[in-house]
Every structure is written in C-alpha cells, then in structure tokens.
C-alpha cells in the first residue's frame, strides 16, 4: 500500500513545488515507484517535470469531479519509476463545485484510493491556501511535510497551518502524521538563516528533518527546462540535498533496508 505524503504550507514561495518534484524524483531514482500528484491549480509541478499545460486535457480535477479514473490521466515522466497525475487551471473550479457535496473533503482521498496500491509513494504538491483542495489533500494524506523557508517571518502563519492539520486530524483523518518540517533555501553565510534554523529546531525539535535544502541556483533553473534536479544536474548540491532527504524519509519509514540488502545479495552472487 502506497504512502501519501502532502507537501503543504499556505505561504507561497517556500519551496513546496520544488520539494514535491525533487523528493518524488529522488524516491523514484532510489527505485521506489512514485506518483507526483499536482494538487495546485497553478500546475507548477506539471510544467516543472516537462509537460506543456496547454496539452493537458484532464487531470486531478476530472478525477475528483467527473469520476475519471486516475490511471487514464496519469502520465509517465522521463524519470524511471516516476509518474505524474497532472493539474490544470480547472482545479480552481473544483473548490466551488465541491462546496455543497456531502463528502466534499474526502473526494481526493476517494480518487487516490483507486491507485494507491500501484505506488510506494504518492507525493502531493499543495496550493498556497488552506482552501478545500488543500483540506482534501490533507484528508487523503498519511503524513505531511511542511517546508519552511529560512527567511524573515519564517514562522509567520505556521500557527494557522498547524491548527488546520489538527482540525483535519480530529475531524477528517485521524491517522494523519507529521512526516517532518523541512528547512529550505538555507544559506549558511547568512546569520539570519542560522537564526531561523535555531528557532525552528527549538520550537519543533525532533520533527525537523536533519536534511536542509540549501539555496541552489540549479534548483531554481531546473523547472524552466522541465527537468527534475537529478535530470538537470545530478551532481549539484540541490540534487544531493533532495537525495539525502529521500533517504531520510525512507529511513523514517524503514524502507531502505530491503532494497539495499537485495543489492548486497546480488553483489555477493556475482
Ligand atoms: N533551494 C532552493 N534554492 C534556490 N531556489 C529555490 C529553492 N527552492 C525553491 N526555489 C525557487 O523559489 C521559488 C519558489 O519555490 P516553489 O517551490 O515554487 O515554492 P512554492 O511551491 O511553495 O510556492 C521558485 O522560483 C523556485 O525555483
Ligand atoms: Mg507551488
């Protein structure tokens, strides 16, 4: 059964999409079959892995509203083991269309349930809002990763997000867990960054990932080529950071063991 991880923060520009794309790609490269789910009407994850938005005819919206089967809209990416459930702008309309439906918070969960078993990880890129689509994503998710940008007012608005996560846990999805807080766009030369890291670690303690994502120009240019960071520049710091994050996620979920042991056994045989 696949694990659904939502990447959420209602602040824009904190690294949600960059994390969703590149964590998903890193898990895929480490041989875990992964689905990147674009749950943001801006569809940055869809274009970020190389798809022309004008050519996307159906996506998550149709799966939620029109009961289209996810397997009929899922696209293979150029990364082995990585598929995409795309978004397009109509997803905005989904919020309005869902509002009067009895199960309005659980529609994404129902849609993803149809393909959950086909993947080891499903990574949801959430929109910068706490609206119904994000509530749906948190309700569908097994866990949530909150990216926090190392900058002024890093913790601003976080209370509201944590309240929302708590609300979802209490009312809609009792099994929702915190996968971790991820520090992004870290620049060790800046005192401010180090202060933010201290502050976040003091506040959130062990739920902060050991991996920090450094500010790295390659990470910001990769989407303009429609490439994940691993395809764009595998040796870049951004690539290494996201591979490290993937290993940390696998370790937390105790999934590294098996594949590595398999490799050792194969080596012995040769
Ligand atoms: N570690 C990083 N280093 C440099 N630029 C980054 C990094 N992470 C994200 N960016 C850039 O910052 C901007 C916002 O990131 P994005 O992932 O789109 O945030 P969000 O999805 O939260 O709005 C984008 O232009 C992205 O390319
Ligand atoms: Mg985004």
User: pLDDT of 26-81, one tens digit each?
Assistant: 999 999 999 999 999 999 999 999 999 999 999 999 999 888 999 999 999 999 99
Query: Given its phi and psi angles, is residue 48 left (phi above 0), alpha (psi -120 to 50 degrees) or beta?
Result: alpha
85, with CB counted inside 10 A (0-12, 13-18, 19+), is buried
| Residues 59-81: b if buried by 16+ CB within 10 A, e if exposed | bbbbbbbeebebeebbeebebeb
Domain ranges of the chain: 3-269
> Model-level pTM?
0.94
Residue 5: both structure tokens together: 């991880």
Which pLDDT value is given to residue 270? 46
Name the token pair of 221.
């240019």
Helices 91-98 and 132-140 pack at an angle, to 10 degrees, of 90
Ligand 2 centroid–CA 64 distance in Å is: 20
Cα–ligand 2 centroid distance for 99 (angstroms): 23
Task: Specify the pairing of strand 82-85 against strand 75-76.
Answer: antiparallel
User: Does 38 or 91 have the greater pLDDT score?
Assistant: 38
Average pLDDT over all residues of the chain = 93
User: Distances from the Cα of 109 to the Cαs of 60, 123, 165, 214, in angstroms?
Assistant: 11, 13, 16, 33
If you measure from the C-alpha of residue 256 to the centroid of ligand 1, how many angstroms do you get, rounded to a whole number?
Answer: 28
Ligand 1, atom 9: nearest CA belongs to which residue?
Answer: 15
* Sole residue written with tokens 């397997």: 71
Give me the CATH code for the 3-269 domain, please. 3.40.50.300
Region 175-204: mean pLDDT is: 94
Does any ligand 1 atom lie closer than 6 A to the CB of residue 148? no
């Amino acid at each position: 059964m696949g694990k659904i991880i939502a990447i959420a923060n209602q602040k824009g520009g904190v690294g949600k999409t960059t994390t969703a794309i590149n964590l998903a790609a890193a898990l895929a490269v480490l041989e875990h079959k992964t689905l990147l789910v674009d749950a943001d009407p801006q569809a940055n994850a869809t274009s970020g892995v190389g798809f022309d938005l004008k050519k996307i005819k159906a996506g998550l919206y149709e799966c939620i509203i029109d009961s289209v089967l996810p397997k009929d809209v899922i696209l293979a990416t150029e990364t082995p083991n990585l598929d995409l459930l795309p978004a397009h702008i109509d997803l905005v309309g989904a919020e309005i269309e869902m509002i009067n439906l009895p199960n309005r918070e659980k529609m994404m969960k129902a849609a993803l349930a149809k393909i959950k078993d086909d993947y080891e990880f499903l990574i949801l890129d959430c929109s910068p809002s706490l609206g119904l689509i994000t509530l749906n994503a948190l309700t569908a998710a097994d866990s949530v990763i909150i990216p926090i940008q190392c900058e002024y007012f890093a913790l601003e608005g976080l209370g509201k997000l944590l309240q929302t996560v708590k609300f979802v846990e209490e009312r809609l999805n009792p099994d929702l867990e915190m996968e971790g807080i991820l520090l992004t766009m870290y620049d060790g030369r800046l005192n401010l960054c180090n202060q933010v890291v201290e502050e976040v670690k003091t506040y959130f303690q062990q739920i902060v990932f050991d991996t920090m994502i450094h500010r790295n120009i390659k990470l910001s240019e990769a989407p303009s080529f429609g490439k994940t960071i691993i395809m764009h520049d595998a040796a870049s710091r951004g690539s290494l950071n996201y591979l490290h994050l993937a290993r940390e996620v696998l370790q937390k979920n105790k999934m590294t063991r098996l594949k590595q042991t398999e490799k050792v056994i194969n080596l012995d045989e040769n």
